[in-house]
Amino acid sequence: MAATVQISGRLLAKNWALNLLGWVVPLLVALAAIPYVIHGLGTERFGILSIASALLVSFGLVDMGLGRATTRFVAECLARGEMEKLPGIVWTSLWSQMIFGVIAGVLAFALIPVLVSRFLHISPGLEDETRNSFFILAASLPVLLALNSLRGVLEAGQHFNVVNYVKVPTSISMFLLPALAVPLKLHLPGIVYALVVARLAATAAYLWACLKFFPVLRHRFSSDSRLLRPMLVYGGWVTITNFVTPLLTYIDRFFIGSLISMTAVGYYTAPYEAISRAWVIPGTLAQTLFPAFANLEAGGSSDRLEELCARSLKSLLLLSGPALLLVVIFARQILGLWLGSAFADASASVLQILALGTLVQSLALVPFSLLQGIGRADLTAKFNLLELPFYAIACWVLVRLMGLPGAALAWALRMTVDAVLLFGAAVWLKCISLRTLRGKGLQRTVLIVSVFAAFAILLWLAGWSLFVQVLLAAVLLSVFAIVAWSYVLDARDRSLLGLVAIQVRGLLARSK
């Protein structure tokens, strides 16, 4: 019988390092493989493959939030040592996922011909390839949805090493298999079939790992209908969040396209996509924190839960704060080197505003994970529903008044409102206290980040040459690191950061 999971700083540091590498390594493979795939398949086939890949990755939206619910319910079960309840949770989630997959697959089979022939502008010679590719995806839905529940079980058990050992090769295969298909002259159905097989192999690997780490799952394979309702209620709120979030993400581009031009959408999308890469640090941390919060809340460890929140916020401020502030300072130069002077002139202010909003959003991911971890996914969904109409109005008004910077400002303001609501809810529910947030070195962190920002602004306004600005920015960053290490971080922080560095270095060494 598996032992009760004990959350420790060392364990969380290791898991964060694993999740970081699990995101970065596939990205590096994608950067190398995508140009070759585009050249080999042609632009139109690559576009169709991109839609198929996006559908393959985003099928999690139709799982009714059961993947997230499984992680939370299993984490609570492990925290309380109630191992006898584990089979009911896991197999109820798994069978439900497969049933939802069958229903979704049948609906997809009915809709695919209409989608291909009427809504997608596809060359006549590629319609059969596209239709057959989508049919393969639809047929694989039941097993693909089961992947969410199985991965959730492993994350709840803090087995992020196994999760990433499976996830990284699977993610790499999304880019590597199409590249291998080019010299073999495979058509789209063959490529999509290979991608689906890779996902099925990942599902089988997760199942094997679950049975290995939780032997109690082998003794009973029946579901418990009494568990389905609370899991669906929780998962329903998660699903609302998952569906509303894309609307909140892309509505600004709709207003830009309708009120300005489609060219302006390009000028806005490029800096947005660039700054979104900074979400890797807070995003992977949130992935690590969610099952830990669920475990600590179920185990009644409120003091440790508060401490974890404070230390997480401090880590995000120290890591993301200076980097995003430097993006604000060098926004024009970054865009100029990357996309040319036209983009730099049109989008520099957009990138600056988005960078500041991203910093706020990064911090908000901590209370977001906390609320979902303690079972209040309804609050995160309600906040998103509340924000949607006000954000749409603000975006429309500000785009008309200010153009592209207005869209960025509306987004940054929504991030700020969202952060205030999330932090306010966490304090109101007494999950964290203002006293705790002021402690644990968080006040000092805010102070030195503010001082860094003040000097960065002076550097921006001084008007020196780019060489001098880069040199002074490097000096400023070095001083910040020294002050943070000696003035802000305590012995435990230094130990954990050192552990993260060791884990990353060790994982990179093993991957060579």
Q: 433-449: buried (b, 16+ CB within 10 Å) or exposed (e) per residue?
A: eeebbeebbbeebbebb
Greater confidence, 288 or 301? 288
Q: What is d(CA 269, CA 275) in angstroms, rounded to the nearest whole number?
A: 10
Q: What is the DSSP letter of 5?
A: P
Residue from 124, 128, 62 nearest 98 by CA: 62
The type of residue at 296 is: L
Tokens of 119: 């809504």
pLDDT, residue 3, reads: 47
Q: What is the DSSP letter of 42?
A: -
Q: What is the DSSP letter of 486?
A: I
Q: Using alpha carbons, list the distances in angstroms from residue 359 to 270, 272, 316, 335.
A: 18, 13, 9, 19
Dihedral sign from CA coordinates of 319, 323, 324, 325: positive
End-to-end CA separation in angstroms for the chain: 35
Dihedral sign from CA coordinates of 409, 411, 414, 420: negative
Q: Residue 154: pLDDT above 70?
A: yes
Q: Using alpha carbons, list the distances in angstroms from residue 453 to 45, 322, 334.
A: 46, 8, 19
Q: How many CB atoms lie under 10 A from the CB of residue 305?
A: 22
| Per-residue pLDDT tens digits for 54-94 | 666 556 566 677 788 888 888 888 888 778 888 888 888 88
Q: Residue 145: pLDDT above 50?
A: yes
| Per-residue pLDDT tens digits for 16-34 | 777 777 777 777 777 677 7
Please report which helix (H) or strand (E) contains residue 233, including its range. Answer: helix 225-259
| Per-residue pLDDT tens digits for 162-201 | 888 888 888 888 778 888 888 887 788 888 888 889 889 9
Q: Find the mean pLDDT for residues 2-19.
A: 64
Please report which helix (H) or strand (E) contains residue 261, including its range. Answer: none
Q: Are 90 and 70 in contact (CB under 8 A)?
A: yes
pTM for the model: 0.79
Look-up of token digits 């197999």: 91
Lowest-confidence range among 117-121, 126-130, 283-287? Answer: 117-121
| Per-residue pLDDT tens digits for 377-419 | 889 999 999 999 999 999 999 999 998 899 999 999 999 999 9
pLDDT, residue 501, reads: 65
